[in-house]
């Protein structure tokens, strides 16, 4: 096959010690996949920015395939870059919904990215009915419930396999003003057909005796919300995917960084992914699902061509504090403070006047989230920081998470964060953050067989099954259950980008790529 190589290694350097999740006796540190990627930090405020370089267009050609890469070449229908929750559920969707063969390639292993740090709520309570994510979130929720049901029907326990807990969720308020916000949210959720109610102080106390919100406080309650354990779920999906390995339909290439893409000179399509050890041909589709690293993968794809494809996904660092055998409080539901809604949705253009909360997306922010996992461990979150690809534990953030939780559970104030050192685990992950708040799920413009599924920020676990369904339906040409328009790279998001540059640049790009 005549192919050219588009290198995308130089700005994507995994630091060796960080590739494997770092584990020690005191805590497990997930999200250790460290990539020096400062060059890929992009300033574009919209989703995808196409740029042309100033010199004349030249053919996209960097190197020819050599004989050693031919020796290690394997052919699949679909090759997926990234084995986080998004990549693995996309693989699952193809395996269950078609007869295509699938390869998944990851620079590390599945829980090395954001997925291994995820708290696991699959919630609707913090969403606005009718908002852009609503339809995809509802579909994903439905698919998660169907998966749990099918596990039950096989005689297995979804709690053991997925960490599935049917606890419902509480969105908690501490002031009269916040309570009126929650009351109107409950009205909206009811109008959208969900089961929801407002709990006054006394009602809330009987649901969660350890939670102290004060007489003016209350909570919105959605009994149908669920939670999973991200690592158990990933293990379950991997195991299910591997059932297709004996028939040659599923192969994993872990600890193999995707280093370049091979592109057909005749069709312009990307035909293969070059990893550090193998050349993986993808006959039908190549899908980039590399979380917050997807930007550099795409950016470097066009590094040696006359165009640049800038995908402005950024790493948004998050810490979670997980405490073993903590008997001081018990939780009957998953909890989140109302402030989380602003904290999550703040964008790069935010200022400290956001919602009057004093929140600034450039600085750290903490809001209380609390769940109990299937093993009875207390999981407290969460922080958000835009500090690049750093995954070091920041002890000051852990202290702030603990103190914030103490505002809601005063009994925690009796224990200092230092006293937890022997029973705690800290999880750090890099959420794939999109400046416009929406994941990208769709075609890479101009390359018909290449797709992107990334940018899910703090909702990748929730939205994974719906995302996988969308991508598989696009590749297979099946009708969609959810309108994918607002997640596409073209359409309104592309128009925003085009305004930034002269039209002849667009024409040049299309001529080059089509
Ligand atoms: C603290 C925290 C709490 C969270 N809580 C929740 C929650 O409760 N509910 C929820 O829905 N979401 C939650 N999230 C968000 C969720 O975890 C993410 O949205 C989701 O995991 C993103 O999945 P992903 O597959 O896109 O990325 P990742 O899991 O980051 O996977 C990307 C993969 O790509 C690989 N990769 C990168 N570059 C290359 C390359 N060149 N070649 C090969 N492989 C490569 C990486 O090794 C990695 O394994 C939370 C996140 C954090 C950090």
Q: What pLDDT is recorded for position 29?
A: 22
Cβ–ligand 1 distance for 84 under 6 Å, the answer yes
355: left (phi over 0), alpha (psi -120 to 50) or beta: left
Q: What pLDDT is recorded for position 131?
A: 87
Cβ–ligand 1 distance for 90 under 6 Å, the answer no
Residue 355 C-beta-side C-alpha neighbours within 13 Å? 17
d(CA 201, CA 182): 13
Global pTM value: 0.85
Cβ–ligand 1 distance for 163 under 6 Å, the answer no
d(CA 329, CA 423): 15
Contact call for residues 263 and 449 (beta carbons, < 8 A): no
290: left (phi over 0), alpha (psi -120 to 50) or beta: alpha
Instruction: Tell me how long the chain is.
Output: 514
Q: What pLDDT is recorded for position 451?
A: 94
Pocket test for ligand 1, best of 104, 114, 366 (most atoms within 8 A of CB): 114
Say how many C-beta atoms besides its own lie within 10 A of residue 264's C-beta: 15
Q: Which atom of ligand 1 is least distant from the CA of 460?
A: 19
Domains of the chain are 3-8+42-116+231-310+436-513 (3.50.50.60), 166-221+315-433 (3.30.9.10)
Phi, psi (rounded to 5 degrees) for 403? -70, -40
Pocket test for ligand 1, best of 169, 291, 321 (most atoms within 8 A of CB): 291
d(CA 267, CA 222): 51
Cβ–ligand 1 distance for 12 under 6 Å, the answer yes
Cβ–ligand 1 distance for 286 under 6 Å, the answer no
d(CA 70, CA 49): 34
CA angle 437, 93, 150 (to 5 degrees): 105
Ligand 1 center from residue 308 Cα (angstroms): 25
Q: What pLDDT is recorded for position 300?
A: 65
Contact call for residues 256 and 278 (beta carbons, < 8 A): yes
Instruction: Name the DSSP class of 228.
Output: -
Instruction: Name the DSSP class of 305.
Output: S
Say how many C-beta atoms besides its own lie within 10 A of residue 510's C-beta: 12
Per-residue pLDDT of the chain (514 residues; tens, 9 = 90+): 444 444 333 233 333 222 322 222 222 222 222 222 222 222 222 334 433 332 222 222 223 344 454 569 999 999 999 999 999 999 999 999 999 999 999 999 999 999 999 999 999 999 999 888 899 999 999 999 999 999 999 999 999 999 999 999 999 999 999 999 999 999 999 999 999 999 999 999 999 999 999 999 999 999 999 999 999 999 999 999 999 999 999 999 999 999 888 888 787 788 999 998 999 999 999 999 999 999 888 776 656 554 567 788 999 999 999 999 888 899 999 999 998 776 655 544 433 333 333 345 456 789 999 999 999 999 999 999 999 999 999 999 999 999 999 999 999 999 999 999 889 999 999 999 998 889 999 998 878 899 999 999 999 999 999 999 999 999 999 999 999 999 988 654 433 333 234 433 333 333 333 2
Q: Which residue reads 């040659």 in tokens?
A: 248
Tokens of 263: 């592109």
> Distance between terminal CA atoms of the chain?
19
What residues form DSSP beta bridges with 103? Answer: 79, 251
Q: Which residue reads 């102290």 in tokens?
A: 212
């Amino acid at each position: 096959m005549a192919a050219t190589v588009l290198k995308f290694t130089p700005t994507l350097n995994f630091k060796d010690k960080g590739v494997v999740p770092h584990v020690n006796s005191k805590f497990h540190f997930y999200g250790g996949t460290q990539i020096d990627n400062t060059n890929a930090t992009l300033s574009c405020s919209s989703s995808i920015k196409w740029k042309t370089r100033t010199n004349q267009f030249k053919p996209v050609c960097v190197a020819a395939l050599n004989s050693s890469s031919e020796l290690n070449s394997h052919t699949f229908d679909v090759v997926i870059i990234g084995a986080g929750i998004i990549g693995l559920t996309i693989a699952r969707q193809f395996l269950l919904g078609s007869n295509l063969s699938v390869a998944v390639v990851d620079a590390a292993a599945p829980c090395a990215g954001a997925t291994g740090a995820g708290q696991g709520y699959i919630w609707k309570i913090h969403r606005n009915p009718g908002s852009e994510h609503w339809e995809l979130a509802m579909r994903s929720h439905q698919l998660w419930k169907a998966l749990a049901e099918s596990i039950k029907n096989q005689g297995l326990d979804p709690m053991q396999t997925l960490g599935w807990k049917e606890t419902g969720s509480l969105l908690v308020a501490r002031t009269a003003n916040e309570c009126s916000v929650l009351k109107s949210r409950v009205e909206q959720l009811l109008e959208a057909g969900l089961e929801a109610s407002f709990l006054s102080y006394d009602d809330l106390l009987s649901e969660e005796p350890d939670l102290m919100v004060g007489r003016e406080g209350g909570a919105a309650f959605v009994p149908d919300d669920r939670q999973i354990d991200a690592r158990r779920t990933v293990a379950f999906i991997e195991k299910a995917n591997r059932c297709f390995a004996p028939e040659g339909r599923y192969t994993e290439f872990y600890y193999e960084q995707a280093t370049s893409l091979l592109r057909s000179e005749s069709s312009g399509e990307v035909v293969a992914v070059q990893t550090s050890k193998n050349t993986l041909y993808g006959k039908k589709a190549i899908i980039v699902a590399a979380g917050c690293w997807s930007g550099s993968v795409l950016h470097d794809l066009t590094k040696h061509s006359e165009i640049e494809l800038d995908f402005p996904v950024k790493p948004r660092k998050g810490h979670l504090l997980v405490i073993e055998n903590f008997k001081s409080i018990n939780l009957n539901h998953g909890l989140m403070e109302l402030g989380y809604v602003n904290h999550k949705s703040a964008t790069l253009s935010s200022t400290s006047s956001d919602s009057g909360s004093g929140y600034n997306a450039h600085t750290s922010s903490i809001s209380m989230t609390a769940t109990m996992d299937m093993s009875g461990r207390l999981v407290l979150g969460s922080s958000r920081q835009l500090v690049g690809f750093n995954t070091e534990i920041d002890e000051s953030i852990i202290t702030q998470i603990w103190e914030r939780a103490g505002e809601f559970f005063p009994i925690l104030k009796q224990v200092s964060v230092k006293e937890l050192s022997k029973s705690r685990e800290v999880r750090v992950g890099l959420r794939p953050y999109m400046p416009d708040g929406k994941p990208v799920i769709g075609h890479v413009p101009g390359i018909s067989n290449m797709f992107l599924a990334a940018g899910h920020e703090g909702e990748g676990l929730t939205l994974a099954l719906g995302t996988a369904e969308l991508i598989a339906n696009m590749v297979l040409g099946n009708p969609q259950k959810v309108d994918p328009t607002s997640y596409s790279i073209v359409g309104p998001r592309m128009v925003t980008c085009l305004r930034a540059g002269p039209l002849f640049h667009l024409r040049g790009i299309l001529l080059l790529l089509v």
